[in-house]
Structure 1
Amino acid sequence: MKTLSERLARAMKETGFDSQTQLAKAAGVEQSVISKIVAGASKTSKHSSKLAAAMGISADWLINGAGTMRGGIDSPLQRIDVSKLVKVFDEKGDTGEAITWVSEVPDNYRAYIIKRNTGVAQAPAGAIVVVNPDRSPSTNDLVVTLISGSLSAFRYHESGDGGGFLSVDDTRIPVTPVRAGSDIVGPIEQVFIPSLSK
């Protein structure tokens, strides 16, 4: 296979990508990039390594035709589906890291790693929570908060005056009024708990 176009078409077929749109989404590139390569209009592409990673093939083979598609190993390389990547945030903001989530999530979602006990069983220490910072919480939503520079998780309750309160599972601990809207990062959409036993 002498051209990038031929190698990409073969790789898509052998790795199960039935459409250019499907590959574009997994690689995080525009579908038009793939279309130009397949049509032979682009002899090279700065996105080739992303395409190779999404298909789990050797970037050197795809770009240069060197070696084998699988990179000289029998088992496939790990596929990287960027549509399932979630940016990781902490108390200071974007950490510059990302995690692969179990399902595709919108680009605006953020992942937080709960580092200490929150008092909410659904978001214990060690849990990874995915938050939608653009949605306002409703009663009984779990929310991530950033209060006095500390991240935590609470259950949110709406009050009649448009404000809100935060609570934990232990009913002996009184609810706390939300002081400012900026204290709430956003509602928790999904939770991953690595281990329930210690």
Structure 2
Amino acid sequence: MNEKTLAERLRMAMKKTGLTQAKLADAAGMTQPSIWKLLNGKALSSTKLIEIAKVLRVRPEWLSEGKGLIRENEKENLEKNISYDDIFSVAVYGKNGPTGEKVLVPDLVKSKYCRAYRLDINSGCADAPAGTLIVVDTEEIPGTGDLVYACINDTMSVYRFMQGGMFGFLSVDDLRIPLFELTSKSSLIGVLVYLSRSLRRR
């Protein structure tokens, strides 16, 4: 691994833990735009790096400067660091409601409004290919850059949210595809608070 910038290291650590910008910001006592600036190289440091490292379970020295091991025991899988006191179960939903399946996710994203969905097709966002299991908070308000789950033209998929207009806009990673403006008839299901391809089932 050779992540040269803070933005690259932060992106990698967030991907391993599955935390979104909004959830990381909340857990570290920051604003979501502050995390966005770090991820996009608009800010090169933060007074909250120790808090961010703690939430992401990485060493502050590695996160801030790229020095040393990522964790105390670099071979240790992040999932093994999560005790059963730090997880809760979320019901998996399909297009027609609950499927009866449940998944275990970190307590950091705990909310009574959480629902899990399994993606059957590739979304337009590289972070959420087919087979990914996502957890959304149906009551969280999305911010610019957040991944959201929405039903557009009877197709459920993951999009990137952008503030603007009456209800906001949805975009995908392919810049050739125009923004989709949300309306009162659009179905924004929730903001992604966790995603994984290997969540444990219960």
Equivalence map 1:1-198=2 (5 Å): 84-103=88-107, 105-159=110-164, 161-180=165-184, 183-194=187-198
Percent of aligned positions that are identical: 34
Cα separation, 2, equivalents of 1:108 and 1:166? 22
Question: Aligned-pair distance for 1:94?
Answer: 1.8
Cα separation, 2, equivalents of 1:93 and 1:149? 15
Cα separation, 2, equivalents of 1:183 and 1:163? 11
CA deviation string 1:59-117 (max 9, x = no partner): xxxxxxxxxxxxxxxxxxxx987952111011112222211224462232111111101
Question: How many residues were matched structurally?
Answer: 116
Unaligned runs of 5+ in 1: 1-78
Is residue 86–residue 107 contact of structure 2 (8 Å, CA) maintained in 1? no
TM-score by length of 2: 0.51
Is residue 136–residue 190 contact of structure 2 (8 Å, CA) maintained in 1? yes
Structural RMSD (CA):
2.5
Instruction: Pick the structure with greater CA Rg.
Output: 1
Question: Aligned-pair distance for 1:181?
Answer: 6.1
Unaligned runs of 5+ in 2: 1-82
CA gap of 1:101–1:88, structure 2 versus 1, over 3 A, is same
CA deviation string 1:14-35 (max 9, x = no partner): xxxxxxxxxxxxxxxxxxxxxx
Cα separation, 2, equivalents of 1:81 and 1:151? 32
TM-score by length of 1: 0.52
Is residue 91–residue 146 contact of structure 1 (8 Å, CA) maintained in 2? no
Higher relative contact order (CA 8 A, sep 6+): 2
Q: State the partner residue of 2:7.
A: none
Is residue 114–residue 152 contact of structure 1 (8 Å, CA) maintained in 2? yes
Whichever residue aligns with residue 133 of structure 2, its letter is I
